[in-house]
Chain A
Amino acid sequence: MNKEAIEKTVLDSLKRIAPETEPSELSPDENIREALGIDSFDFLQFIISLNDQLKLDIPEQDYGTISTLRNLLAYLDEKLK
Chain B
Amino acid sequence: MIEFLMPSLGADMEDGTLVAWRKKEGSAVKRGDIVAEVDTQKGLIEIEIFDEGILEKMLVQPGTKVPVGTPLALISPGGAGVKMPPMVESKEEMKPPVPEKIPKAPAEIIHKGLKVSPLARRIAEDNKIDLSTVTGTGDDGAITKADVEKAIVQRAESGAKQAATGIPAEDKTKAASDTIRNAVAAAMSRANREIPHYYLEKAIDMTKAMAWLERTNKERPVNRRLLPAVLLIKSTALALQEVPELNAVWDNGLQLKQDIHIGFVVSLRGGGIIVPAIHTANLRTLDEIMDALNDIIPRAKALKLRSSELSDSTVTVTYIGEGGADSVFGIIYPPQVALVGFGSISEQPFSKDGMLGIHPIMRVTLAADHRATDGLTGSRFLTALNSRLQIPESL
Chain A interface residues toward B at CB < 8 A? 18, 20, 33-34, 37, 39-41, 44, 47-48, 51, 57-61
Chain A's closest residue to B216 (CB) is: A60
Closest to A57 in B: B222
**Contacting pair B223 A48 (CB below 8 A):** yes
Nearest opposing residue in chain B for A51, CB measure: B222
Q: Does B214 contact A (CB under 8 A)?
A: yes
Q: How large is the interface on B (under 10, 10 to 19, 20 to 34, 35 or more residues)?
A: 10 to 19
Task: Give the CA-CA distance A58 to B223 in the complex, in Å.
Answer: 11
Q: A20-B270, A60-B217 are in contact. Are A40 and B228 (CB under 8 A)?
A: yes
Supposing A37-B269, A39-B267 touch, asked if A60 and B225 sit within 8 A by C-beta, the answer is yes
Q: In the complex, A10 Cα to B228 Cα: how many Å?
A: 25
- How many A-B residue pairs lie within 8 Å, measured between CB atoms? 36
Cα distance, A48 to B217, chains bound together (Å): 13
Chain B residues, Cβ within 8 Å of A47: 222
A39-B321, A61-B218 given; 5 more Cβ-contact pairs under 8 Å? A47-B222, A48-B223, A57-B222, A60-B217, A60-B218
A59 to B228, CA, bound (A): 16
Q: Is the interface of A mostly helix, strand, loop or mixed?
A: helix
Q: Report Cα–Cα, A34/B323, bound state, in Å.
A: 9
B84: Cβ under 8 A from any A Cβ: no
A48 to B269, CA, bound (A): 20
Whether A40 lies near B221 (C-beta < 8 A) is no
Report yes or no: B214 in contact with A60, Cβ–Cβ below 8 A: yes
- Contact partner of A44 (CB less than 8 A), chosen from B221, B225, B269, is B225
Residue of A nearest to B270 (CB): A20
- 8 Å CB contact of B229 from A18, A33, A40, A48: A40
Given the known inter-chain contacts A18-B269, A20-B269, A61-B214, please indicate yes or no for A41 contacting B221, CB distance below 8 A: no
Mark contacts of B136-157 with chain A using CB atoms, 8 A cut-off: 1 yes-contact digit, 0 otherwise: 0000000000000000000000
- Going nearest first, the 4 A-B pairs with the smallest beta carbon separation are A51-B222, A60-B217, A48-B223, A40-B321
CA distance A36 to B229 in the complex (A): 21
Given known pairs A51-B223, A59-B218, the reply for A40 and B269 (CB within 8 Å) is: no
